[in-house]
């Protein structure tokens, strides 16, 4: 298994200090990872930036572990859904330019007035169209366990089975299962055979009287992002289960804690390296 860091880990630096993709790659080169995970939301002009990104990656002996797109297929307007499908197609093309074969995708967001089953139908229809293009291009689309439509392990598995494409798999986010009140150990065991990419992340449950900013689960539990290994996710179990199914892909640190993002990211990378079997 290979180590990576997601640019989303430094989201606050992007917002507060105008960190760009070049600065992120240069930072990643200093913390001992094998690769970087890049996101569509951080480009300023991707066609101008991609050649420079490729040069910088080569200079620093880094690879792109995955390319992430923030799509949403729950759109009542058919033209808007097609626009989201086209965005995924474009992301597949960009992934190939970046020499990665994994694109992280979302399913969609709950929309007031749209019945759950209708939203689910739009997601499946859109995924099928995206899968056809992904198959032609040799790129895997990894659905992240995120939100109401694909937050739980059984939802991810159902989408994968329904679309029925070898190019539709899972982006396993180790922390997000807590936000849908699912035991991460149980969830990982269920989805392990479908994993194309991993977000190595941890959350810690707060007391009921905690009144600060927090991620809220479906049942109202409050969680904070934390350094990997310091929260409620059994990351040893995650790696063990992935090893058992022969997973050799990327483990990408995604830090969402309150402390300085660079400090939290570096601690998380250190934890990841300690948990990984010795590599030759």
Does residue 194 lie within any of the structural domains? yes
Rounded to an integer, what distance in angstroms lies between the CA atom of residue 174 and that of residue 181?
A: 13
Joined tokens for residue 96: 């190939």
Does residue 10 lie within any of the structural domains? yes
| CB-CB contact of 270 with 244 (8 Å) | no
For β-strands 250-253 and 35-39, DSSP reports them as unpaired
Does residue 280 lie within any of the structural domains? no
The CATH number of residue 73's host domain is 3.20.20.150
Does residue 110 lie within any of the structural domains? yes
pLDDT-flagged residues of the chain (< 50): 280
Closest by CA position to 194, among listed 227, 156, 139, 235: 156
Place of tokens 């679309």: 163
Quote the number of domains for the chain.
Answer: 1
Place of tokens 């927090």: 214
Does residue 236 lie within any of the structural domains? yes
Backbone torsions φ then ψ of 72, nearest 5 degrees:
-150, 110
Does residue 68 lie within any of the structural domains? yes
Does residue 199 lie within any of the structural domains? yes
Cross-strand partners of 202: 226
Q: Which residues form the domain of 206? A: 2-275
What's the pLDDT at 277?
A: 73
DSSP secondary structure string, the chain? -EEEEEGGGGHHHHHHH---HHHHHHHHTTTT-SEEEEEGGG-SSHHHHHHHHHHHHHHTT-EEEEEE-------SSHHHHHHHHHHHHHHHHHHHHTT--EEEE------TTS-HHHHHHHHHHHHHHHHHHHHHHT-EEEEE--HHHH-SHHHHHHHHHHHT-TTEEEEEETTGGGGGT--HHHHHHHHGGGEEEEEE-EEEEPPTT--SS-EE-TTS-EEEEE-TTSSS--HHHHHHHHHHTT--SEEEE---BSS-HHHHHHHHHHHHHHHSPP--
Does residue 240 lie within any of the structural domains? yes
What's the pLDDT at 279?
A: 52
């Amino acid at each position: 298994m290979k180590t990576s860091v997601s640019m989303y880990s430094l989201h606050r630096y992007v917002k507060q200090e105008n960190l760009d993709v070049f600065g992120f790659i240069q930072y990643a080169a200093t913390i001992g990872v094998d690769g970087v995970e890049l996101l569509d939301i951080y480009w300023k002009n991707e066609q101008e930036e991609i050649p420079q990104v490729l040069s910088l990656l080569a200079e620093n002996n880094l690879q792109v572990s995955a390319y992430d797109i923030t799509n949403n297929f729950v759109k009542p307007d058919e033209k808007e859904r097609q626009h989201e499908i086209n965005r995924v197609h474009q992301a597949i093309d960009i992934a190939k330019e970046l020499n990665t074969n994994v694109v992280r995708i979302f399913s969609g967001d709950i929309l007031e007035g749209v019945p759950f089953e209708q939203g689910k139908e739009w997601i499946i229809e859109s995924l099928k169209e995206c899968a056809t293009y992904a198959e032609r291009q040799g790129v895997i689309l990894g659905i992240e366990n995120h939100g109401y439509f694909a937050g739980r392990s059984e939802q991810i598995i159902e989408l994968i089975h329904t679309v029925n494409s070898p190019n539709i798999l899972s982006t396993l986010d180790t922390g997000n299962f807590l936000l849908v009140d699912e035991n991460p150990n149980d969830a990982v065991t269920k989805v392990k055979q479908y994993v194309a990419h991993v977000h190595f992340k941890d959350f810690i449950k707060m007391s009921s009287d905690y009144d600060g900013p927090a991620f809220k689960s479906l049942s109202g539990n409050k969680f904070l992002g934390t350094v990997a290994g310091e929260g409620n996710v059994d990351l040893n179990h995650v790696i063990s289960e992935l090893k058992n199914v022969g997973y050799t892909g990327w483990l990408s640190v995604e830090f969402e804690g309150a402390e300085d993002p660079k400090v939290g990211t570096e601690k998380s990378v250190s934890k990841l390296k300690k948990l990984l079997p010795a590599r030759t």
